[in-house]
Amino acid sequence: MEKQRDFYFDNGKFLLIFFVVFGHLIRSFIAEHELLYAIYKTIYSFHMPAFILVSGHFAKGYYEKGYLLKLMKKLLIPYFIFQIIYSVYYYFLLDESQFSVNIFDPEWSLWFLISLFCWHLLLPLFTKLHPVTSFIFSIIIGVLIGYIDSIDTYLSLSRTFVFFPFFLLGYFLQREHFQHLKAKKTMMSSTIIILTIFIYFYSFPTMDFEWLFGSNPYSQLDNNFMFSWLQRLFIYGISFIMVFSFWALVPKQKFFFTKIGKYTLYIYLLHGFVVKYFRGSRFETWIAENHSLWILAVLALCLTLLLSSKCIRTIAQPMIELKTVYWQRLFKQFNQRLFS
């Protein structure tokens, strides 16, 4: 019997995956719309860090026997599969002259899979230290790593080190820590914090949004190279505040969308095919010409619901979970109907 899932975390994961899809859909419009640009930076200041934090929270069993093999099956094999699929898809969609697959340079959002695997590998090293010492050490590494030009998108190394503090903190957090966030005063403060940071991004739009990606060395981000570490510390501060503000506002009750929190990996891996096709399409041009940007939120919600549907999961399960149980059932039902 399946263990009762926590509605709180499933609600949070649903909201986060919606923001992931929405953020990718509005990317093409941020250059011409200041409000959308501020929304974009606000979303990117917390959505992946919050995902990473909750991933660390559920990494408590990393020391169990066979855990590494399970991780390889859950993360690395889908990574290789989708790296090839995305390469083929881009070859035909973008009409490229030459087909190539670069296993070491993650396509689209696949960086998360390889970084998540690496974060689990780093846990045994960092959990030997005192939690506070370990966390501070991870922050120092995340700050200094930006000065090494060779650490960038290759094998998602930059993001692995930059975002590791969120994963590590999530591992150290207990369930009661999240419960403390649900106090009424905390929830009100969190709402004010999120609005304040949004207003900051809107009022001071000069900050390059790529700082929030954590994927590039400082030499590609800032002319003031010597003081780039201060900028990263500033981003860390904003992100941690936003992450806890987000989790303070996540509801604990069960809703119609709660169960979707169980299938976020499907949405995460599949939405890129739709978004990549959307960019540069006539539909995208129509939205821009008619100033109908609100449609992007509706489209993001519909896409999130569609990619988590049973039909899509049935088709994609062999590639994502490496299971063929649904296919076997369908084949069996087909044979029964055919020969009955």
The domain locations on the chain are 7-308
- Whether 51 has a pLDDT exceeding 50, the answer reads yes
161-187 pLDDT per residue, tens: 999 999 999 999 999 999 888 888 888
The amino acid present at 61, given as its one-letter code, is: G
Cα distance between residue 286 and residue 195, in whole Å: 30
212-242 pLDDT per residue, tens: 999 999 999 876 778 899 999 999 999 999 9
Cα 185 to the center of its chain, rounded Å: 28
Token pair in block for residue 59: 């990494």
Number of H helices, E strands in the chain: 16, 0
Contact call for residues 83 and 69 (beta carbons, < 8 A): no
Q: What is the pTM of this model?
A: 0.92
Instruction: Supply the pLDDT for residue 323.
Output: 73
Write the CB contacts of 269 (distance below 8 Å, at least 6 apart in sequence): 78, 82, 109, 110, 316, 320
CB neighbours (10 Å) of residue 176?
A: 7
Contact call for residues 145 and 151 (beta carbons, < 8 A): yes
- Whether 1 has a pLDDT exceeding 50, the answer reads no
Cα distance between residue 19 and residue 304, in whole Å: 10
- Whether 326 has a pLDDT exceeding 80, the answer reads no
Instruction: Supply the pLDDT for residue 63.
Output: 79
259-274 pLDDT per residue, tens: 999 999 999 999 999 9
**Owner of token pair 């500033």:** 234
Share of the chain above pLDDT 70, in %: 93
In whole numbers, what is the pLDDT of the chain averaged over residues? Answer: 91
